Amino acid sequence: MEKEGNLMKKKILIVNSFYTPDIVGGAEISTQVLAESLNQQFEVYVLTSSNNKDIIYEEINGVQVIRIPNRNIYSALDNYAPNTVEKLYWHFNNTFNKKQKKAINQIIQEIRPDIIHTQNLNGIGTYIWKLGKVNNTLIMHTLRDYQLIQPTKIGLINKLIASINKKRAKHVDVVVGISRYILDEFVSNDFFNCASRKVIYNTINNKTVEKNLKKEKGPLKVSYFGRLETEKGIEFFLDSMCNVEENKVGEILVVGTGSIADQLIEKYSQDSRIKFLGKLPFEEAQEKMSYVDVVVVPSLWPEPFGRVVIESYRQGTPVVATNVGGIPEIIYNKELIINPNDKKSMREKVELIYNLGAEEYNQLSKDCLEYSLKYSRTHEDYISLYRKILAEDE
């Protein structure tokens, strides 16, 4: 391998379903942060899917972005609700898409990357792993969700697609979990048996908005940030907070949108404390995280990481969160962890924060902010890992 600063930089091709400004969830944010963080050390390309009819080449913040057409019957970027048959066809096409496979192979041959680093692969296809091997490229995959195992809600289809993905996973050289939980989940299902394994938490480098220090005890401002879906625990959160006295919780903010938004707005219309703010621009959402006194992450399903936890800490805001998935690994205040659907415990934890004196709360806020900084440079672990596997390959 060349000494740093000499000759050409090594090429990294990062692959993800979508890329900014097309943001569906946390994976897109994490992928952008990773790509831009690596760009000083490597020549970084991003391969992603889009609704464009042709392949689009563009540069975003120094990163070369290649958007290939979505060669399927619909896209997650569409405002469209497919029926069961359409969903099944979509997943079949995503698994065996010859046109997409050919286009991706041509791009790999054009770039000739030293490492192909895949993230979420809906719209791309796991056949990219073999394409990389055929083109003598090292393959790394970061586990950000469970789509390789559970792409649908139909058990038989999941079993079929998972078996195909498992066979293709033998081409992966290194697998990274964004939490110990998600990595163990795939290992226990016999995925990536030929790959070395590592846990690297997401890089969270959002700016800190100055927080007003508490000067006296008063009603708390409590908030939820995320998709409005049943599995995210939004009703569990709202039901719990509605039963806390108004002198303890004065504002309940809900930031986000989802399929049950209208249902929630109607159900909780009688509580004037609850304000549904919809989906906010990222910077404005961070301001709200700084504005509130507590953020609640009430997920009922196993979150692979839970970036809203660290984003809230970055604003000096403590978090009450459920004991699911990778969340317990990143919670600073272990005493603020609760079990899913335990409304009594959620109320008690929020009241615990209410009962803190101003000095105690301000110290907790400062500690949360300081703790969050350990997640601001986790991309350096990727740089070290790239250099290690490139050196081993020489």
pLDDT digits (tens, 9 = 90+) for 346-355: 999 999 999 9
How are strands ordered across the β-sheet holding 319-322?
Answer: 274-278, 249-255, 220-225, 294-297, 319-322, 337-338
Q: How far apart are CA 241 and CA 251, in angstroms?
A: 10
Q: Which residue has the tokens 């110290």?
A: 363
Angle at 278 between CA 370 and CA 252, to 5 degrees: 60
Band of pLDDT at residue 252, cut at 50, 70 and 90: very high
Q: Which amino acid is at 333?
A: N
Given this model, what pLDDT does residue 238 score? 98
Q: At residue 338, what are phi and psi to the nearest 5 degrees? A: -130, 165
What does residue 64 show for φ and ψ, rounded to 5 degrees? -80, 120
Share above pLDDT 90 across residues of the chain, in percent, rounded to a whole number: 79
Q: What is the distance between the alpha carbons of residues 388 and 253, in angstroms, rounded to a whole number? A: 45
User: Per residue in 106-133, pLDDT tens?
Assistant: 999 999 999 999 999 988 999 999 999 9
H/E stretch holding 251 reads strand 249-255
Burial label for 128, CB within 10 Å (0-12, 13-18, 19+), is buried
Q: How many whole angstroms from its chain centre is CA 118?
A: 14
The pLDDT tens digits for 259-272 are: 999 999 999 999 99
Torsions phi, psi of 10, nearest 5? -70, 150
pLDDT-based confidence at 7, cuts 50/70/90? very low
Mean pLDDT computed over 39-49? 93
Contacts of 12 (CB under 8 A, 6+ apart): 38, 42, 43, 44, 45, 113, 114, 115, 117, 386
Torsional class of 30: left (φ above 0), alpha (ψ -120 to 50), beta (otherwise): alpha
Q: In what order do the strands lie in the sheet with 43-50?
A: 56-60, 63-69, 43-50, 11-15, 115-118, 138-143, 174-177, 196-199
Per-residue model confidence as pLDDT tens digits over 178-234: 999 999 999 999 999 999 999 999 999 889 999 988 878 899 999 999 999 999 999
Distance CA 116, CA 134 (A): 12
- The closest alpha carbon to 293, from 345, 265, 326, 251, belongs to 251
| Whole-number Å distance between alpha carbons of 360 and 342 | 26
